[in-house]
Homo-oligomer: A and B are copies of this chain.
Amino acid sequence: MALDSIEGSLKERGVRLTRQRQILLELIDKTGEHLDAERLYQMAKEKDPKLNRVTVYRTLKMLKAGGLVDELDLMHYVGDQHYYETRLKQEHAHVICLRCGKVEEFFGEPLQRLRKQIESHFGFQILLARTEVGGYCAHCQTLRAREVEELRSRPAEPEKGEARRTPGKARPARARRA
């Protein structure tokens, strides 16, 4: 289990395992990947209503600095927040559908190949690497084509305010905080 190895690593470095950190660590570990600070905070608050958002940020920062979690942007599909996942699995790329938001992970040899070539080409010592890819997933390619077609046949239906987005399921609105 990942949790143990993370806690071990922290203890070695003399980092205190406070109640708050235990809650956060467990959530990060067992929820799987792609949690952002706010969502982690919301989940942690259910376990300890007193736990503060700042503690979440500080913990994530520490874990990142210690190389225990990786920070992702997921192409800023939703907004400018960061996402975190434990650094355990093999290196992988994140593939984000710009229409439905689904995130796939790609493992595979081109990634190792890329890493090695960069290291030898520049004599570079890689500490972290991040590959993110945006586009349309198989499912959305069809739907997208249909949407474009509809737009073409019924052009520029005027609407109050902002320029009309693609109809149906478009990008989610920026999440507002409570």
**Residues of A participating in the B interface, judged by any CB pair closer than 8 Å:** 71, 73, 75-76, 80, 93, 95, 97-98, 104, 106, 108, 110-111, 113-115, 117-118, 121-138, 141
User: CA A126 – CA B126 in complex, angstroms?
Assistant: 26
Q: How far is the CA of A133 from the CA of B127 in the complex (A)?
A: 8
The reply to whether B114 and A98 form a contact with Cβ atoms under 8 Å apart is no
Q: Assuming A80-B80, A114-B93, A114-B114, is B121 touching A108 (CB within 8 A)?
A: yes
Flag if B133 contacts A118 (CB, 8 Å).
yes
Q: Which of A122, A124, A132, A135 has the most CB of B within 10 A?
A: A124
Docked pose: A125 CA to B71 CA in angstroms: 24
Measured CB to CB, the closest approach of chain B to A80, in angstroms, equals 7
Q: A134 to chain B: which residues have CB within 8 Å?
A: 126-129
Asked if residues B80 and A95 are in contact (CB atoms below 8 Å), the reply is no
| Among A80, A114, A132, residue most surrounded by chain B Cβ atoms (within 10 Å) | A114
Cα of A127 to Cα of B98 in the assembled complex, Å: 9
